Chain A
Amino acid sequence: MLLVVEQFLNGLQFGLLLFLLAAGLTLVFGIMDLVNLAHGSLYMMGAYFAATFAAWTGSFLLGALMALGATLVLGIVLEVTALRHLYGRDHLDHVLATFGLILFFNEAVRLIWGPAGLALPLPAWLTVPVPILPGIHYPAYRLAIIAVALLVALLLYLGVMRTRIGMLIRAGASNREMIGALGINIKLLYTLVFGLGAALAGLAGLMQAPILTVQIGMGENILILAFVIIVIGGIGSIRGAFLAAIFVGMIDTLGRAFLPNLLRQVLSGAAASTAAPALSSMLIYLLMAIVLVVRPEGLFPASRR
């Protein structure tokens, strides 16, 4: 029981984190029609910034806030200097150019911070276990991640659905030329959206940083998961990204936690312990394959252009 609740919450937390990453990716794709492989690099930069700033200031929260600002600025600089010139080009060009950016960022991090990973220690008040149910404790920090991510998701939803900027973003996603023709500064809007996406990726990175080590290449595996999520959810759909992210987070976490035991009931011990890790890593991809076979456009496709 304890394990089930704990793993369930872990799955939720991981799913929400993935959502932050996938939301930026799907916004950028839906609005600018840009495939950004370097999104994972922004996640990594968020974590590195947070670790650095937190060490400077001696405060986790201050460091996190500064890191958030820094990734926002980095995203805007990246958009203005490089990615802006890729809009309207072939998707393959995007893949290639942003692949080059990944190489650049990984190497730049190695140059600046060195090949060894960093650690981002948590303040004491976030490390205490919190009783959530009678007799069941859960780390405060993971609860904080869930709370922050849910809050951001809510703000994002309200921002996109209820504000003027959000209206422009939605309009831009459904017809780019038209809102340009209506006199909206589309360039500025694009820069803004990209910066927002970058900040979301940075937020995901800096929140994940205390749980895992901050290291080079940390953005790449999770980027692929984010891609899987937006493919499952339907490209350009924030709602789809949210549901798919929770789904993928759950399946991945629960699969890793319970599959080995389940397999052990069917297979011999040795066979199960070798097959289980591979199988649980594969689960998500299997899920994606099934979704694409049934609904090639994803579960919640954004409205057609």
Chain B
Amino acid sequence: MKSLSVSKAVTALMLAGLVLLPLYSQLSGNIFILTLFTRVIILALAAASLNLIMGFGGMMSFGHAAYLGIGGYAVGMLAQEGVGSGFIQFPVALAASAIYALVIGALSLRTRGVYFIMITLAFAQMAYYVASGLARYGGDDGLTVYKRSDFSGLIDLSNRTQFYYLCLACLFGVIFLIWRIVNSRFGLVVQGLRSNEQRMQAIGFPAKRYQLVCFVISGTMCGLAGALLANNTDFVSPAVMYWTRSGDLMVMVILGGMGTLFGPVMGAVVFLLLEEFLSQITEYWALIMGPLLLLIVLFGRGGIMGVLGRAGRG
């Protein structure tokens, strides 16, 4: 039980830090840190959604950034067309992501293993090219969102602190949902399919249907992250869907610990802070980041959560 307590303590510390961050930002007058962490939280949300299919479902999607773009473009395009209400923008963003996930999932899930990794990658690239071709909505240059989603006075997204807490609430909500899913009958079936698909099918579960539903849920969650991200940067461009973005999300999940509830959050925090820190030291931060990833893969099995677990045990 001691092994659990170390990772639990670190997780609790991190979550407390995230909750109290705006207070620190206000006291120290450091506005930058609040903006930085808003981004961290949004990407943590995306990583958590990826973890649902990758860590628990065993579906290695290499095209998860597509949902960031779809969610973002839903907000941006509606804003451009004069529909500023968040009550319309957000549901549309979620629905669009869900529909995309349904189509892509139905096609991709026919394959497995590396084929699955590559077909999800290819579809995300396809979405990237579609967005680049949207001349009305900025094409390659992207689309500026002049006005953030309007929730008619309920919550003001232009207020940094309020927006931060909205993102944090979304993150907690999604993690709670994932926790409920993973421990439900549905979640157990999906995890069973990860371990042994043939056996689960022999018992009589329609494997693909379960996996597809899980895939759609994950995509919808990531679409939410996309809608938030567009509001955070006031901008959305095809670049958010570029395949290196999907790679970043995968790195966050694996860095934090696949198949753990808070691992992806930890991974996102560490990855983005490391990126920020290294880019302040040197312009060539990727020169360090790249080999670091290699070392993490070679020596850091189970990610940060795994290492913490071992530290507690050893």
Q: Which residues of A contact B (CB under 8 A)?
A: 29, 35, 82, 85-86, 89, 91-93, 95-97, 99-108, 110-111, 220, 224, 227-228, 231, 235, 274-275, 277-279, 281-282, 285-286, 288-289, 292-293, 296-298
Q: Is there contact, CB below 8 Å, between A224 and B111?
A: no
Q: Is there contact, CB below 8 Å, between B133 and A275?
A: yes
Q: Collect the chain B residues with CB atoms within 8 Å of residue A102's CB.
A: 244, 290
Q: Is there contact, CB below 8 Å, between A274 and B135?
A: yes
Closest residue of B by beta carbon distance from A92:
B60
A289–B122 Cα distance when bound, in Å, is 9
Q: List 8 tightest A-B contacts by C-beta distance, closest first.
A: A278-B133, A100-B293, A104-B290, A103-B290, A281-B129, A107-B286, A285-B126, A103-B286
Q: Is there contact, CB below 8 Å, between A100 and B294?
A: yes
Residue-wise, chain B 213-257 has the 8 Å CB interface mask toward A (1 for contact) of 000000000000000000000000000000110010011001000
A209–B121 Cα distance when bound, in Å, is 26
A129–B133 Cα distance when bound, in Å, is 34
Chain B interface residue count, CB cutoff 8 Å, equals: 44
Of A95, A104, A279, which one neighbours B62 at CB under 8 angstroms? A95
A227–B250 Cα distance when bound, in Å, is 18
A82–B293 Cα distance when bound, in Å, is 12
Q: Collect the chain B residues with CB atoms within 8 Å of residue A298's CB.
A: 115
Total A-B residue contacts, Cβ distance less than 8 Å: 129
Q: Is there contact, CB below 8 Å, between A282 and B126?
A: yes
| Chain A facing B: main interface SS | helix
Of B110, B118, B251, B290, which one neighbours A228 at CB under 8 angstroms? B118
Of A92, A103, A286, A293, which one neighbours B110 at CB under 8 angstroms? A293
Q: Is there contact, CB below 8 Å, between B293 and A103?
A: yes
Most chain B CB within a 10 A radius of its CB, from A85, A91, A228, A296:
A296
Q: Is B202 an interface residue (CB 8 A)?
A: no
Of A29, A108, A279, A296, which one neighbours B287 at CB under 8 angstroms? A108
Q: Collect the chain A residues with CB atoms within 8 Å of residue B123's CB.
A: 285, 289
A180–B62 Cα distance when bound, in Å, is 33
